Structure 1
Amino acid sequence: MGEDSKSIGEQGELIVRRFLELIGWVAYQSNIPINCMHSIEHKSTTAKKERKTHGIDYFYANKSNLKINTLDNIVISVKYSASEYPKYPSTKFKEHITDLSQTLECFIRSNLRTDSIAEFNDQRSIKKADDLGVLFWINNCKKSQQNIVKEVANIEIPKELKFSKIYLVDNSRVSFIHKTITYLKNKYENHEVNFHYNQSDANFSDPDIIKYGTIMPVEYLTADIIPFRLINDQETIFGISINDNFSEENLNSILAYASDISQDFTNELIILFPDYDNLEHKNIYEKVAGRFNKKQNRTIVKIHSFQNEFWSLGDE
């Protein structure tokens, strides 16, 4: 039984490791122990001894391109199982959040955080560090349609937990991102896939922030819209992937969003939906895209569907 649990855990870490590399988080550290600063408070209910350490599955740090003068220290926890999510996930979710929250609480006073800040100290534009958690709660149940993020959205987090922000990533979320990037890499193999970094009040005044790059911002892990650029020596294509089904309303919304971004660097726009079907949706596409083209000086709009599964990341 213990050997099975070890194999399951290793498979989960393998999938997450390859997923991190897919989104550009290649400079990660893995399997890092840090000292526990609250040995009694952080002791599990089943443990007989006080806690001495916390284990960090992955750690990734990078200067944010969505927040001004900010270093993101990202502590990643992987919770992987062979079976589907619990029918009533509240208890297990609180266990996972508690574990990661306590790890973050001790990370703030760890040498790992000190070293991370020191490494980026030569970048004068960094003035603060955000200590964030990412919880990968995924499993090997490929047929499950359970959206665990929505199911736990209204669960009350224990008040004693201390953390600034934790991003929850479930099967459906990993699948959406994996499908999007894999589709783009296969379909546009002569282009480099870059994430577009949205400009906002949170980052516009930082002169060192770039507009696009191969590293996905942590905020996009839980976003239902992923903006991207496909770049080669001849052209730049702007694109948006949507974690929602095709409809005239959704298409209008996405085109309105795109029109504020893309005019200065491209005249081609690609939109990815999970379920777009040319036979079924062509009339809606032509009507809406035609109106958009007239307003945007003949911008070319293309719509595709993305499909493939993220579990293949665990295949040898």
Structure 2
Amino acid sequence: MGEKSKKSGEIGEKISSELLRLIGWKNALHNMSITCNSPKHRNESGNQRETHGEDQLFIYHNPFHDDRTEIVHVSVKNSLGAPPGEATLRTKFKSHFKECQEIIECAKHSPEVNSISRAHTTRGKKSHSGLLIWLHNDESDIECDIKPHLASSRLESDAKFPIYLIDNARASFLIKIIDDIKRKSEDKKIEFFYPRIGTSVYVNEARSGSSLPLELIASDVVPFLVKSDDSCEMVIYADQKFSVDAYKKLLSYALQFSSGLVAKIKIGMPDYNPSQDEHEAQLARFHFPDRNEEIIPFSFNRSILSLIPKED
């Protein structure tokens, strides 16, 4: 049982590290030991903890809040089989959530973490958050989405820190869109785009960069900028099935995001079918007659439809 658990943990660490590398989290610190400083934190035997295991730690300046630096505590959980039943899944999630809270609670007072934070030249406010990467290695359902089963979970009312979740479905979405944009953009420069949301007011704050912030990791809409010497276009990926209403909302988001920044916008959805959906996409575009941007819908799931030539 111990050997199986060790193997599962090693697989989870490899997958999560590669996933975080893909979204630009390349300078994360791995496998830190955090001294426990709370008598309330207990191990599996019921004794007071001595240390917490910090799987990864990543620090970045939040592009949506001018004065804030994010300190993200990454916890990796991996199971070799399929997700358990809903009741067990919720119980395990509550346990993982509580563990993340305890790690952050002690890490906030860790001399090592504070030293790393100072070396990073943090901004006025430091915000500690958790990122739970919880994966299940069931080949028959490798893109399983556990979030709907967790939606009604009742978490501790005194939880102090936000915890973000990447499950198989979210990881698969991120992998697909990054693979798609790299394949299509070839030698062009690709950056994640940071829409003007939150409290960011400084005009010189970068609106794009090489890493994906927590807010966009949790979002069903991930925007990119693709730049070359003579052009710049926006590419927006949505983890949503095509419908007129969904596409119309994405058009609205895209035009708000772009703010006249680009002349061409591409919107990717997993099931957009040009042979069936093109007419409805054109009708949705008519709702924005005052905008001149060229908008092109596409599917980021590869199929024979990917062979249909795209108009320049």
Both structures adopt the same fold (TM-score exceeding 0.5): yes
CA distance in 1, matches of 2:259, 2:47: 61
**Structure 2 unaligned regions, length at least 5:** 303-312
Of 258, 269, 284, which residue of structure 2 is paired with 1:262?
Answer: 258
Is the contact between residue 145 and residue 167 of structure 2 (CA under 8 Å) also seen in structure 1? yes
Letter in 1 for 2:19: F
1:296 corresponds in structure 2 to 291
CA distance in 1, matches of 2:259, 2:10: 46
1:180 corresponds in structure 2 to 177
CA distance in 1, matches of 2:64, 2:255: 20
Letter in 2 for 1:296: R
Mapping of residues 149-160 of structure 1, within 5 Å: 149-160=147-158
1:80 corresponds in structure 2 to 78
1:195 corresponds in structure 2 to 192
Q: Residues 59-82 of structure 1: CA distance to partner in whole angstroms, max 9, x if unpaired? A: 000111011211100000000111
Is the contact between residue 108 and residue 131 of structure 1 (CA under 8 Å) also seen in structure 2? yes
Mapping of residues 57-206 of structure 1, within 5 Å: 57-88=55-86, 89-121=89-121, 126-144=123-141, 146-160=144-158, 162-204=159-201, 206=202
What is the SS of the residue equivalent to 2:257? Answer: coil
Q: Does 1:307 align with 2:301?
A: yes
1:47 corresponds in structure 2 to 45
1:311 corresponds in structure 2 to none
CA distance in 2, matches of 1:217, 1:211: 12
1:312 corresponds in structure 2 to none
Mapping of residues 236-247 of structure 1, within 5 Å: 236-247=232-243
What is the SS of the residue equivalent to 2:30? Answer: strand
- Change in 2 beyond 3 A, CA 1:268/1:104: same
**Structure 1 unaligned regions, length at least 5:** 309-316
What is the SS of the residue equivalent to 1:174? Answer: helix
Q: CA deviation at 1:146?
A: 4.1
What is the SS of the residue equivalent to 2:132? Answer: strand
What is the SS of the residue equivalent to 2:226? Answer: strand
TM-score by length of 1: 0.89
CA distance in 1, matches of 2:64, 2:94: 29
CA distance in 1, matches of 2:63, 2:181: 22
- Change in 2 beyond 3 A, CA 1:119/1:182: same
Q: CA deviation at 1:209?
A: 2.0
What is the SS of the residue equivalent to 2:242? Answer: coil
2:225 corresponds in structure 1 to 229
What is the SS of the residue equivalent to 2:69? Answer: strand
CA distance in 1, matches of 2:46, 2:297: 58
2:29 corresponds in structure 1 to 29
Mapping of residues 282-293 of structure 1, within 5 Å: 282-289=278-285, 292=288
CA distance in 1, matches of 2:219, 2:112: 28
Letter in 1 for 2:119: E
| Bigger relative CO (Cα 8 Å, ≥ 6 apart) | 1
1:273 corresponds in structure 2 to 269
Letter in 2 for 1:295: D
CA distance in 2, matches of 1:155, 1:263: 38
Q: CA deviation at 1:48?
A: 5.5
Is the contact between residue 73 and residue 113 of structure 1 (CA under 8 Å) also seen in structure 2? no
Is the contact between residue 244 and residue 273 of structure 1 (CA under 8 Å) also seen in structure 2? yes
Aligned residue pairs total 299
CA RMSD of aligned residues (A): 1.8
CA distance in 1, matches of 2:47, 2:149: 34
CA distance in 1, matches of 2:58, 2:194: 19
